[in-house]
């Protein structure tokens, strides 16, 4: 008799089944991007050449993720998690009332944040690139716009982390572990 069968006979419960949700590309992308964004933020004025290289690496990762959003597996595809505004607002209302349903992949609010973060990364990087061109080189007001956008991005990251924490608590599942292992309870 298997350990699982013995566990059931003894009144124990089987460990919860898990299902693969996040593929290796999405997981490596996520954690690599987090590290690159942190490094870029910390090197802004201190190590400008490194900061620029980090910005290019971020753009390359985001570009790869955008492609993966169309050709990757189901949960990586934008079609799976980018929802219309009505669905996002409905989910937000459910979440505020403590009635939000659990999603195996991104919930509508999480999907909106993922798309917004990708867009904001391109905006911050684009502004940074423009600072390296003749037209904007040394333009202090434009540098301030780039920095403001970077701080807005960090605020969005804070909201993302808060949303992950809230969802993890509300549904009693460890979403950080899921982004490491790729698996969630079924």
Q: How confident is the model at residue 12 (pLDDT cuts 50, 70, 90)?
A: low
What average pLDDT does range 93-119 have in this prediction? 95
Q: Treating both helix axes as pointing N-terminal to C-terminal, what angle do 48-71 and 108-130 enclose, rounded to 10 degrees?
A: 140
Q: What 3-state class would DSSP assign to 148?
A: helix
H or E element, residue 18? strand 18-20
Instruction: Of 11-25, 28-42, 44-58, give the range with the top mean pLDDT.
Output: 28-42
What average pLDDT does range 87-112 have in this prediction? 95
Fold of 17-185: Fumarate Reductase Cytochrome B subunit (1.20.950)
Q: Is the pLDDT of residue 80 over 70?
A: yes
> Six-digit token pair at 95?
């979440």
| Domain locations in the chain as residue ranges | 17-185
The rounded radius of gyration (Å) of the Cα atoms in the chain is 20
Task: Check residue 121 and give its pLDDT.
Answer: 98
pTM value surpassing 0.85 = yes
What average pLDDT does range 140-162 have in this prediction? 95
CA torsion sign for 47, 49, 55, 61 is negative
> Six-digit token pair at 186?
């079924």
Task: Check residue 45 and give its pLDDT.
Answer: 77
Q: Treating both helix axes as pointing N-terminal to C-terminal, what angle do 140-170 and 108-130 enclose, rounded to 10 degrees?
A: 160
Place of tokens 């993922």: 114
Q: How confident is the model at residue 136 (pLDDT cuts 50, 70, 90)?
A: confident
């Amino acid at each position: 008799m298997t350990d699982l069968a013995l566990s059931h006979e003894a009144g124990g419960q089987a460990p919860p089944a898990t299902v693969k949700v996040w593929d290796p590309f999405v997981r490596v992308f996520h954690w690599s991007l987090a590290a690159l964004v942190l490094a870029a933020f910390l090197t802004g004025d201190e190590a400008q050449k490194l900061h620029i290289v980090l910005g290019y690496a971020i753009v390359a990762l985001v570009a790869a993720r955008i492609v993966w959003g169309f050709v990757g597996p189901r949960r990586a595809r934008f079609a799976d998690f980018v929802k219309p505004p009505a669905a996002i607002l409905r989910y937000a209302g459910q979440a505020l009332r403590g009635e939000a349903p659990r999603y195996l992949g991104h919930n509508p609010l999480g999907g909106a944040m993922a798309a917004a973060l990708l867009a904001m990364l391109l905006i911050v990087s684009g502004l940074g690139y423009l600072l390296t061109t003749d037209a904007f080189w040394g333009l202090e007001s434009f540098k301030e716009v780039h920095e403001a956008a970077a701080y807005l991005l960090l605020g969005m990251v804070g909201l993302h982390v808060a949303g992950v924490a809230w969802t993890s608590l509300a549904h009693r599942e460890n979403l950080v572990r899921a982004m490491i292992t790729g698996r969630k309870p079924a």
